A = this chain, B = another copy of it.
Amino acid sequence: MAAYPDLSDRQERILAFIREFTGEYGYPPSIRQIGSDVGISSTSVVSYNLNILQRKGYLTRTREVSRGVRLVEEESTSEQSLIPMMGYIAAGDPLPIADGDFAQGEGEQVAVPKELVGDAEGVYALQVRGTSMIDALIADGDLVILRHQQQAQNGDMVAAWLVEEKAMTLKHLYWERNRTLVCLQPANPTLEPIFVHPSKLEIQGRVIGVIRQL
């Protein structure tokens, strides 16, 4: 089991139970529920141990609030964002319409680490179909996290629509010759870049992250 040198067995069990319970039900357990699981008959003893756990920094309590217990580990690291899954991306198809409404609507959502997205405004996820993005180090099945935007800065990895080729591509973008030429550089440096005129390119968004499940 976990090694908490400064905690008693009971306190470890309490911690573990709160973690499980909260995960399962979405709200924290009451003092009596904790006691019943850990095997403590008296509510005061549970409260007593919770206070110790709070003092030692493992959790936070809110006085006189039912189920007012929160694990500290959750406070710090559990931050994540829910972003909408907008569908698929493949070389031949344009991006699914990413219209203005990104609020937590219907449809599927994915949870991603908050550090990955920062502000979740205009962020969405697409699943890659096919190996056409392999030169961007993106495999079949990968989840790409995009922020909807038309502009891009030098070096940004962008999702772009190549008008003439009628193809969607993910590449690093660089402006050349005073913005009259665009260089699309594969992430894999052994591959050759593409040069196109800005008018033949429609930037659909910026890639801010990739998640691959194997």
Report which A residues bind B (CB closer than 8 A).
1-4, 19, 22-23, 25-28, 30, 60, 62, 65-71, 73-80, 82, 101, 103-105, 108-116, 131, 134, 137-139, 157, 187-189, 207-214
Contact = CB atoms under 8 A, between A and B. Distances in A.
A122 to B, nearest CB: 14
A191 to B, nearest CB: 9
Counting every copy of the chain, the complex holds 2
Given A26-B70, A27-B67, A112-B113, A214 B157 contact: yes
| 10 closest A-B pairs by CB | A2-B103, A26-B70, A210-B212, A66-B66, A137-B137, A77-B109, A111-B113, A27-B28, A137-B139, A27-B67
Contacts of A188: 134, 188
Contacts of A69: 26-27
